[in-house]
């Protein structure tokens, strides 16, 4: 620090311009003024009314229903008129009665159960017989060692 030139003293920061005071709560708000300018007017021709669709008018359906009823009545009257008069065609036929007799027969059910038991005996192959003998010897040695171990434990407990 001895070799550095002296620093000039720092200036205090410049004061900031004052801000507007905040509006108190509940005070009325000043309305904004619109920007003055030339109003733009667009000339558009008026829309035509929508065309009437055929299904919006109910009268054709009503007239078709009435015409169908009239035609159905005329055809029914024409066909029904042929059956009246003298002769076999005009007589009513006697009512028929059908009688049904139903009987229920129960038959016993036979249930058969078969248990099949299949026993398979395997004989070891000659190559495995030598392995079987070694396994028997190892089991015998194991039993012998276990007996010796239990005897040694008893001797330790007695001391």
Q: How confident is the model over 17-71, as pLDDT tens digits?
A: 777 777 677 777 777 777 677 777 778 888 887 777 777 888 888 999 999 999 9
pLDDT at 14 over 90: no
> Distance of CA 61 to CAs 56, 64, 69, Å?
10, 5, 12
Residue 140: inside a domain: yes
Among 64-73, 117-126, 138-147, the least confident range? 117-126
User: With bands split at pLDDT 50, 70 and 90, how would you rate the model's confidence at 140?
Assistant: very high
> Into how many domains does the chain fold?
1
User: What pLDDT shows up at residue 13?
Assistant: 75
64 part of a folded domain: no
Residue 55 falls inside a structural domain: no
Within-domain flag for 127: no
Whether residue 27 is contained in a domain is answered as: no
Q: How much is the pLDDT for 143?
A: 94
Q: Is 87 a residue whose pLDDT tops 60?
A: no
Mean pLDDT of 134-152: 94
**Could you give the angle at the alpha carbon of 147 between the alpha carbons of 143 and 153, nearest 5°?**
145
Q: Quote the pLDDT of residue 146.
A: 95
The verdict on residue 79 lying in a domain is no
In a domain, 148, yes or no: yes
Contact in structure between 152 and 158 (CB atoms under 8 Å): no
Q: Give residue 145's domain range.
A: 134-159
Average pLDDT over residues 90-107: 70
Mean pLDDT along residues 111-118: 77
pLDDT band at 139 (very low <50, low <70, confident <90, very high): very high
Confidence of residue 85 (pLDDT cuts 50, 70, 90): low
CA-CA distance, 83 to 25, in Å (whole number)?
98
Predicted local distance difference test score (pLDDT) of residue 118: 78
Q: Is residue 151 in a domain? A: yes
Going by C-alpha positions, the residue among 112, 132, 136, 134 that lies closest to residue 123 is: 132
Per-residue model confidence (pLDDT) at position 55: 73
């Amino acid at each position: 620090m001895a070799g550095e030139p002296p620093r000039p003293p720092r200036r205090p920061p410049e004061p900031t311009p004052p801000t507007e005071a905040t509006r108190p709560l509940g005070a009325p708000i000043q309305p904004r003024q619109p920007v003055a300018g030339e109003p733009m007017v667009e000339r558009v021709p008026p829309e035509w009314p929508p065309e009437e669709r055929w299904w919006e008018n109910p009268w054709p359906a009503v007239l078709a229903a009435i015409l169908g009823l009239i035609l159905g009545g005329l055809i029914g009257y024409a066909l029904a008129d042929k059956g009246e008069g003298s002769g076999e065609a005009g007589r009513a036929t006697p009512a028929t009665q059908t009688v049904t007799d139903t009987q229920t027969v129960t038959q016993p059910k036979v249930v058969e159960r078969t248990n099949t038991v299949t026993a398979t005996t395997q004989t070891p192959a000659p190559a495995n017989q030598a392995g079987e003998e070694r396994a028997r010897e190892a089991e015998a040695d194991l039993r012998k060692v276990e007996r010796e171990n239990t005897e040694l434990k008893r001797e330790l407990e007695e001391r």
